[in-house]
Amino acid sequence: MSAAFWFMIAVTSTAFFTFISFIIWFEGRRKEREAHYRDEMARKIADAGESGPILEFVQANARADAMQVRLKARVGGLITFAVGVGLMIFLQQLVPTAAVYLVGLIPVFIGVVLLILSEFMMKPAD
């Protein structure tokens, strides 16, 4: 292997991990900004003097957060399920004589569990 290859690997990996760190940093800033705006709105509602609207606001935020978690679990389950099916098809075509494709059942079952969890265990309590 030439020095140029290793240089390319070093530059590519440095750029990749720098990009990932920026994504994590921006996501943290976004969550921080959302929390600030949410607290600001709650403070304005509380300054109005009544306790009813603030309670409704907090409950609406809790419901929205729960629905967000449920949606993320459902999407994660679908993606994991699809990756498992794709892995099974790929391994079946790669090694048709052996049952190596059954390894793809691991992500398929994880995806099924995530889908069941999001559908039945995370139902909103209305």
- Confidence (pLDDT) at 126: 58
* Tens of pLDDT, residues 27-47: 999 989 988 988 888 888 888
* 84 close to 108: Cβ distance less than 8 angstroms: yes
- Confidence (pLDDT) at 21: 95
Can you tell me the distance from the alpha carbon of 95 to that of 102, in angstroms, rounded to the nearest whole number?
Answer: 11
* 80 close to 114: Cβ distance less than 8 angstroms: yes
Domain ranges in the chain are 1-49, 66-126
What secondary structure letter does DSSP report for 123?
-
* 118 close to 70: Cβ distance less than 8 angstroms: yes
- Confidence (pLDDT) at 125: 65
Is 81's pLDDT higher than 90?
Answer: yes
Is 63's pLDDT higher than 90?
Answer: no
Q: Which long-range contacts (CB under 8 A, 24 or more apart) does 102-109 make?
A: 107/80, 107/81, 107/83, 108/80, 108/81, 108/84, 109/84
The model scores a pTM over 0.95 = no
Can you tell me the distance from the alpha carbon of 87 to that of 110, in angstroms, rounded to the nearest whole number?
Answer: 14
